[in-house]
Amino acid sequence: MGTPDDSVLIIIDVQNDFCPGGALAVPGGDEVVAPINALIERFEHVVLTQDWHPDDHSSFAARHEGKEPFGTTEMAYGTQTLWPDHCVQGTSGAEFHADLDVTKAQLIIRKGFRAHIDSYSAFFENDRDTPTGLAGYLRERGYDKVVLAGLATDFCVGHSALDAARLGFKTTVVMDACRAIDLDGSLAAAVAQMRDAGVVLTESVSLAA
């Protein structure tokens, strides 16, 4: 798992639109802020990700006639869940939660800014091929251990963890510092996939130990 000084804490999408009152609110999304801030105090190396969509993003249900949020459509890269408009560039919904301590962040990865493709993972867009540059950043700095927390467990956190493990990083997810959308069993599926991939699923208290 590594210790906080030789691991990178990657905080996924703790933004207003994913918190209560937001356009795509994750149940209890704001509850991750306090445990994440406690983690930030212990880590020397912190990276944030930020959903950053143009207002005509292809993952928005409003861009597909006859489609509703949380339905699906087929894209060139596979099946895409359709979402309410959220985290639009420059809006308050795209901003980090006001109580999140972003001071120590050494890098912010913005994702989903290409209108034609969604991006759940901190490492790749949803075609599973277009990189965000995060893996290169971590490797160039000599880090091979990552600890993930944020929103949502079953989408952006889960995809990020799976990609990190696939890329050879020793990967841990702090489950009490995450919350899930749980769309049609997506949380149980994500947990199973992460375990199968060798991702360590832990709690803050265990990580501290």
What are the residue numbers of the active site?
Answer: 13, 111, 156
What is the token pair recorded at 144? Answer: 């091979």
Longest dimension (CA), the chain: 52
Residues in the chain, how many? 209
Q: Taken in order 65, 23, 88, 136, is the CA torsion positive or negative?
A: negative
CB-based contact 18:29 (threshold 8 Å):
yes
Q: ω into residue 189 within 30 of 0, thus cis?
A: no
Residue type, 112: G
Angle subtended at Cα 122 by Cα 118 and Cα 127, rounded to the nearest 5 degrees: 40
Q: What do you get for the CA distance between the two ends of the chain, in Å?
A: 11
89: nearest Cα among 115, 70, 63: 115
